[in-house]
Chain A
Amino acid sequence: MDFLKIFGREDISSKDIAKERLRLILVHDRANVSPKFLEMIKSQLINIISDYMEIEEDGMEIKLTRMKKDEDTTVPALVANIPIRRMKHLAKI
């Protein structure tokens, strides 16, 4: 979680932390995305990708964040980090 990095840092005001947390919460609320729903997407992704590569399931991370679309609009973005252990033969075909 990005905002965890900034906890503990004295030079960031608590209101900026509040603002960032609020933004992330609202991204989930507004898109109506629950942790359970994300878990579902994650397991389906694993299923699909596993046909082509062996992945590190424990290190896999999937989350909803915000992404800048242009100067003053941001859109929700689904970001997945999927560590690969090795490629499967099939993938070369």
Chain B
Amino acid sequence: MSQVLVITSGKGGVGKTTTTANIGTGLALYKQRKVVMVDADIGLRNLDVVMGLENRIVYDLVDVTHGLCRLKQALIKDKRFENLYLLPAAQTKDKTAVTPEQMEKLCDELRKDFDYVLIDCPAGIEQGFKNAIAGADKAIIVTTPEVSAVRDADRIVGLLEASGFEEPKLLINRIRPDMVKRGDMMSIEDMIDILAIELLGVVPEDEKIVVSTNRGEPAVADETSRAGQAYRNITRRIEGEEVPLMTLQEVEPTFMDKLRMLFGIKTRTAKGEGAKWTF
């Protein structure tokens, strides 16, 4: 049974597009699911760039909803990942070029061909947001550990509930274990406590996200990226697997680790804070 998931947040720049690209790629690459990612951020097209597919766009979402091309013509097949497709946003139109009814119809059309339809929502709570959620079954709310982002997330929770969404899930992005540890960043528990919604996963701040975005290759495919690991776990949870949420314990280097360090051999412990985190 196919699912239409909208990735939303209220606040801009918290990681919706990054999340859409990584979950989409994760589901196609590791779960062999047929996935289409829909960029609903009309006028500020982004997902194509994060995916490294910007040179392949011919038609876009608005062309499809206006009947200027067939749906199949606008879908871009990602040649690196079997079963992964992108429906790009229009860059020259604005959010009013599409209506919620058209989006609903589009999602139902896509549902026939795909296991997952992921919708990358624009920032804000106006027309673009209403369009993005119109055809979705479930919602993932992305936030960062900041007062303004969590506030906006709470607003989105309210709006989603008012639109009949049941149990939106929370994804906390850009957490910095070192800052949480010194009491300078809200912890996962703090945010769950305040928002009172279920946690889907936590993604750490990771330079590799920037590197992977530079290259147009999602971090989820990078075995060495911690954010990538977090997105792999999230992918599995979306598939219904029970992946333990987090273990936030610090790991003292063991005797063997110390020995390895002495001989300059790399250890498995996370670099930097001397703490080991799993996401």
Which residues from chain A sit less than 8 Å from chain B, CB to CB? 13-16, 18-19, 21-23, 25-26, 29-30
In the complex, what's the smallest C-beta–C-beta distance from A8 to chain B, in angstroms?
A: 16
Contact of A29 among B146, B151, B183 (CB under 8 A): B151
- Among the 9-residue stretches B106-114, B186-194, B265-273, the one with 4 or more Cβ atoms under 8 Å from chain A is B186-194
Q: For chain A, what secondary structure do more than half of its interface residues adopt (helix, strand, loop), or is it mixed?
A: helix
Which residues from chain B sit less than 8 Å from chain A, CB to CB? 146-147, 150-151, 154-155, 158, 180, 182-187, 190, 194
In the complex, what's the smallest C-beta–C-beta distance from A30 to chain B, in angstroms?
A: 7
8 further A-B pairs in the complex, CB-CB below 8 A; given A19-B190, A23-B194, A30-B154: A15-B190, A18-B146, A22-B151, A22-B186, A25-B147, A26-B194, A29-B151, A29-B154
A15-B180, A18-B147, A19-B194 as given contacts; A26 in contact with B154, CB under 8 Å: yes
In the complex, which residues of chain A have a beta carbon less than 8 angstroms from the beta carbon of B147?
A: 18, 21-22, 25
A22-B194, A23-B194, A26-B194 as given contacts; A15 in contact with B183, CB under 8 Å: yes
In the complex, which residues of chain B have a beta carbon less than 8 angstroms from the beta carbon of A25?
A: 147, 151
In the complex, what's the smallest C-beta–C-beta distance from B187 to chain A, in angstroms?
A: 7
Leading 9 A-B pairs by shortest Cβ distance: A13-B183, A22-B147, A14-B184, A15-B186, A15-B183, A18-B147, A19-B190, A25-B151, A26-B154
A15-B180, A19-B194 as given contacts; A26 in contact with B186, CB under 8 Å: no
CA distance A92 to B155 in the complex (A): 48
CA distance A14 to B147 in the complex (A): 11
In the complex, what's the smallest C-beta–C-beta distance from B41 to chain A, in angstroms?
A: 25
Contact of A26 among B146, B151, B184 (CB under 8 A): B151
In the complex, what's the smallest C-beta–C-beta distance from A7 to chain B, in angstroms?
A: 14
| Closest residue on chain B to residue A25 by CB atoms | B151
In the complex, which residues of chain B have a beta carbon less than 8 angstroms from the beta carbon of A29?
A: 151, 154-155
Question: Cβ of A15 and Cβ of B187 under 8 Å apart?
Answer: yes
Residue with the highest number of chain B CB atoms closer than 10 Å, among A18, A22, A25: A22
Contact of B185 among A15, A22, A26 (CB under 8 A): A15
In the complex, which residues of chain A have a beta carbon less than 8 angstroms from the beta carbon of B158?
A: 30
| Closest residue on chain B to residue A13 by CB atoms | B183
Contact of A13 among B146, B155, B184 (CB under 8 A): B184
In the complex, what's the smallest C-beta–C-beta distance from B75 to chain A, in angstroms?
A: 39
In the complex, what's the smallest C-beta–C-beta distance from A85 to chain B, in angstroms?
A: 39
In the complex, what's the smallest C-beta–C-beta distance from B191 to chain A, in angstroms?
A: 9
Question: Cβ of B151 and Cβ of A19 under 8 Å apart?
Answer: no
In the complex, which residues of chain B have a beta carbon less than 8 angstroms from the beta carbon of A30?
A: 154, 158
Question: Cβ of B194 and Cβ of A15 under 8 Å apart?
Answer: no
| Closest residue on chain B to residue A19 by CB atoms | B190
| Closest residue on chain A to residue B150 by CB atoms | A22
| Closest residue on chain A to residue B185 by CB atoms | A15
In the complex, which residues of chain B have a beta carbon less than 8 angstroms from the beta carbon of A19?
A: 186, 190, 194
Complex A-B: 25 CB contacts under 8 Å: A13-B182, A13-B183, A14-B183, A14-B184, A15-B180, A15-B184, A15-B185, A15-B186, A15-B187, A15-B190, A16-B183, A18-B146, A18-B186, A19-B186, A19-B190, A19-B194, A22-B150, A22-B194, A23-B194, A25-B147, A25-B151, A29-B154, A29-B155, A30-B154, A30-B158
| Closest residue on chain A to residue B182 by CB atoms | A13
| Closest residue on chain B to residue A16 by CB atoms | B183
In the complex, which residues of chain A have a beta carbon less than 8 angstroms from the beta carbon of B185?
A: 15
In the complex, which residues of chain B have a beta carbon less than 8 angstroms from the beta carbon of A22?
A: 147, 150-151, 186, 194
